[in-house]
């Protein structure tokens, strides 16, 4: 194993809901880095996990009638299933409820307390007793109301432990300035320096007593450790920091890159390094704050019903389609927007047209014009050399871009080679060369160069799209030839051995009909039932067709409508039913004026037992669709059907 190590981490996810493509984004990026570094010879450690303590998790579990641990076990299983389904190559998965983490966090807390970096004091804030939550003055609504429940909060004091964050302000600024890539990209660094590090950096409250779902402060067990202090430490506790065996910590720490979304950069580039400084532990080389994936222009959120989950996309289009889109569409570091149309557009143009077509055309031509064997190249110079130059350019650009985490540009460098290779086919026209006398050498050269370019593409994309890359190698017949699949093997053009047998496999990415796919995705992602904020339907007892047959439903025409003399809600309707006439009293006066009803055709329940409603006879009932709070009522349309006709 290599002695060059590389440690990459994702944030640990809250297992309080299903993960969506925003979460998937961080993990896909970390996976791409991990795979690329392994591929280029590093001994890689890739860590991910779940952040399982805190009041929110406790409350969510309670709301489902479960013990927190039982609730979490189920949720974490789902998260692991997703990562396995996506073939995420993590080396370790840490849960903050594991002993290895809890014990180490307690030791860290004790150490910081012993050093004087954690001290006991009082926390003062606005306390909402029913919610058991402290709020700051600015969080309160209308002066003193709890933002969660709207009840009055009281000014209260509570004993708490504090971390001396203020002591580290100067060292942090110094670190930011002398390590310009520590907090990255530039915009995030500037935001931290100007919004947080130029102000009074206050000490941080790092314990709570208002709930108990957390790691207990070992020497004062009515306190639990603040969830962010607990969570941030995962990056070193997972490596065995302060345990009997800290060899992995010695080997991999400090992390080379810690990926986080932009909203948690502050925790990772200010609080986390200050804790590490207090522990005398080196800081990670880089905290990279990526942007958000928005849905259209909006933040994805359950209440807006605009969440895109990865599973349906993977099932329908494959793992690589989603990974390619996430890495290619957005500039890593900036916000971007997901729409079904831009997702599908990428699939068609880049994957089906550019890459899929190139592979399928090339393999087909080798089968047809060279008996399925890669021929040997005979001609040098001109357009043939241009292709090899382009392949080397792609390789060297890609390496630099991956090192800078510029996945989108990296993929674009490979796609330039793909597009150039497609153009090479159009320029050299192998189908014409095959027909012309004396062009065999030229044809062989073109076919060889195409196969070799595809091999290089397959190798280059392998850290980002390993499923597709394997399929390409299978079609080229080089799966077993390890020396042709390595990173070193693409530093030179011409390594593919003539005589290799190709065989056409399934189409890599079928062309999609965008409009019908959009319709299918809208159907899949449309919020349903409770997710859309609707209450579950309450159904009545089942009936048989014989029960239904007892009803006599007919179309009736309203010929007269008057207000009920004694009840505002009611109208007195005269209804023509074929040759008969009926009087029906109906509660629709809030929704229809009497004159609007004249001439309307409605459905009448004819055999309902007659009753008197506020003194007036009613012989039946008319059907109406009404929503739950009865603020909207509509008479079903049966216009054009003659009165008296049966409805069944």
Q: Which residues of the chain form contacts with ligand MSP (CB under 6 A)? A: 11-14, 22-23, 25-26, 51, 231-232, 260-261, 263-264, 292-293, 300
**CA pseudo-torsion sign 494, 484, 356, 414:** negative
Q: CB 230 → ligand MSP: shortest distance, Å?
A: 9
Residues near 53 by beta carbon (within 8 Å), at least 6 away in sequence: 96, 97, 213, 214, 215, 224, 225, 227, 230, 231
CB neighbourhood size of 493 (10 A): 19
Bridge partners of residue 636, in order along the sequence: none
Residues near 175 by beta carbon (within 8 Å), at least 6 away in sequence: 182, 273, 283
Is 81 or 566 the residue whose CB approaches ligand MSP more closely? 81
CB neighbourhood size of 546 (10 A): 7
Q: CB 263 → ligand MSP: shortest distance, Å?
A: 6
Q: CB 293 → ligand MSP: shortest distance, Å?
A: 4
Q: CB 25 → ligand MSP: shortest distance, Å?
A: 5
User: 166 is written with which tokens?
Assistant: 């203020």
Residues annotated in a binding site for Zn(2+): 128, 131, 146, 149
Quickly tell me which residue has 């009281």 as its tokens. Answer: 154
Is 207 or 234 the residue whose CB approaches ligand MSP more closely? 234
Is 69 or 121 the residue whose CB approaches ligand MSP more closely? 69
User: 258 is written with which tokens?
Assistant: 């810690």
How far from 266 is each of 163, 259, 260, CA to CA, in Å?
16, 13, 10
> 601-605 and 611-613: which strand pairing?
unpaired
The DSSP code sequence of 151-203 is PBPEEEEEEEEEE-GGGGHHHHHHHHHH-TTSEESHHHHHHHHHHTTTS----
Residues near 547 by beta carbon (within 8 Å), at least 6 away in sequence: none
CB neighbourhood size of 524 (10 A): 16
Nearest residue to ligand MSP, scored by beta-carbon proximity: 261
Is 332 or 473 the residue whose CB approaches ligand MSP more closely? 332
Distance CA 433, CA 379 (A): 14
Distance CA 197, CA 200 (A): 8
Measured in whole angstroms, the distance separating CA 396 from the mean position of its chain's CA atoms is 31
Bridge partners of residue 553, in order along the sequence: 605, 647
Q: CB 234 → ligand MSP: shortest distance, Å?
A: 6
Listed residue (595, 549, 555) closest to 571, CA to CA: 595
Q: CB 370 → ligand MSP: shortest distance, Å?
A: 47
Q: CB 348 → ligand MSP: shortest distance, Å?
A: 24
Is 54 or 463 the residue whose CB approaches ligand MSP more closely? 54
User: 406 is written with which tokens?
Assistant: 């510029």
Q: CB 485 → ligand MSP: shortest distance, Å?
A: 32
Is 255 or 638 the residue whose CB approaches ligand MSP more closely? 255
Is 100 or 440 the residue whose CB approaches ligand MSP more closely? 100
Is 311 or 557 the residue whose CB approaches ligand MSP more closely? 311
Is 54 or 318 the residue whose CB approaches ligand MSP more closely? 54
Distance CA 87, CA 173 (A): 39
Q: CB 292 → ligand MSP: shortest distance, Å?
A: 4
Q: CB 248 → ligand MSP: shortest distance, Å?
A: 18
* CB-based contact 620:604 (threshold 8 Å): yes
> 571-577 and 553-563: which strand pairing?
antiparallel
Distance CA 220, CA 223 (A): 6
Is 16 or 139 the residue whose CB approaches ligand MSP more closely? 16
């Amino acid at each position: 194993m290599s002695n060059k190590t590389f440690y990459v981490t994702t944030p640990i996810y809250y297992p309080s809901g299903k993960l969506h493509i925003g979460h998937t984004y961080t993990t896909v990026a970390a996976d791409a880095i991990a795979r690329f570094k392994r591929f280029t010879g590093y001994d890689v450690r890739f860590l991910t996990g779940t952040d399982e303590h805190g009041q929110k998790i406790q409350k969510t579990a309670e709301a489902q009638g479960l013990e927190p641990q039982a609730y979490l076990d189920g949720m974490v299983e789902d998260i692991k299933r997703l990562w396995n389904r996506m073939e995420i190559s993590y080396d370790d998965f840490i849960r903050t409820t594991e002993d290895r983490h809890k014990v180490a966090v307690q030791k860290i807390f004790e150490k910081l307390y012993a050093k004087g970096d954690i001290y006991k004091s009082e926390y003062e804030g606005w306390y909402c007793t029913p919610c058991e939550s402290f709020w700051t003055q600015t969080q309160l609504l209308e002066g003193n109301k709890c933002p969660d429940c709207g009840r009055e909060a009281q000014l209260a004091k509570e004993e708490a432990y504090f971390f001396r964050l203020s002591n580290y302000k100067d060292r942090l600024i110094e670190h930011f300035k002398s390590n310009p890539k520590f907090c990255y990209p530039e915009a995030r660094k500037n935001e931290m320096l100007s919004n947080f590090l130029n102000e009074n950096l206050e000490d941080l409250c790092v314990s709570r007593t208002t709930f108990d779902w957390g790691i207990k402060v070992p020497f004062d067990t009515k306190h639990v450790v603040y969830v962010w202090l607990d969570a941030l430490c995962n990056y070193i506790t997972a490596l065995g920091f302060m345990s009997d065996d800290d060899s992995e910590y010695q080997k991999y720490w400090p992390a080379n890159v810690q990926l986080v979304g932009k909203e948690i950069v502050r925790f990772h580039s200010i609080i986390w390094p200050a804790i590490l400084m207090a522990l005398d532990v080196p800081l990670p080389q880089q905290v990279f704050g990526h942007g958000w994936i928005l849905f259209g222009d909006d933040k994805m959120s359950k209440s807006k019903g605009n969440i895109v989950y990865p599973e349906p996309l993977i099932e329908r289009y494959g793992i690589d389609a989603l990974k390619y889109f996430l890495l290619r569409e957005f500039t890593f570091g900036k916000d971007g927007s997901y729409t079904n149309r831009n997702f599908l557009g990428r699939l068609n143009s880049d994957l089906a047209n550019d890459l899929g077509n190139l592979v399928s055309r090339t393999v087909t031509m080798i089968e047809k014009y060279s008996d399925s064997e890669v021929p040997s190249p005979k001609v040098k110079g001109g357009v043939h050399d241009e292709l090899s130059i382009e392949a080397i350019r792609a390789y060297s650009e890609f390496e630099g871009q991956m090192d800078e985490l510029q996945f989108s540009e990296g993929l674009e460098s490979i796609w330039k080679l793909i597009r150039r290779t497609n153009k090479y086919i159009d320029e050299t026209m192998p189908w014409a060369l095959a027909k012309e006398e004396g062009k065999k050498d030229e044809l062989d050269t073109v076919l060889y160069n195409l196969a070799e370019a595809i091999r290089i593409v397959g190798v280059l994309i392998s850290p980002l799209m390993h499923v597709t890359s394997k399929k390409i190698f299978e079609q080229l017949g080089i799966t077993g030839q390890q020396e042709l699949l390595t990173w070193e093997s693409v530093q030179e053009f011409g390594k593919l051995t003539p005589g290799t047998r190709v065989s056409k496999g399934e189409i890599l990415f079928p062309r999609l009909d965008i409009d019908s796919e959009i319709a299918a995705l809208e159907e899949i992602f449309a919020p349903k039932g409770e997710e859309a904020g609707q209450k579950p339907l309450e159904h009545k007892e089942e009936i048989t067709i014989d029960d239904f047959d007892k009803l006599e439903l007919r179309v009736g025409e309203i010929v007269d409508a008057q207000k009920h003399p004694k009840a505002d809600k009611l109208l007195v309707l005269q209804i023509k039913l074929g040759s008969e006439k009926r009087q029906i009293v109906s509660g629709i006066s809030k929704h229809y004026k009497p004159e609007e009803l004249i001439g309307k055709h409605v459905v009448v329940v004819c055999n309902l037992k007659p009753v008197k409603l506020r003194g007036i006879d009613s012989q039946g009932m008319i059907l109406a669709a009404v929503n739950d709070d009865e603020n909207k009522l509509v008479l079903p349309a049966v216009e054009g059907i003659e009165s008296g006709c049966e409805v069944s």
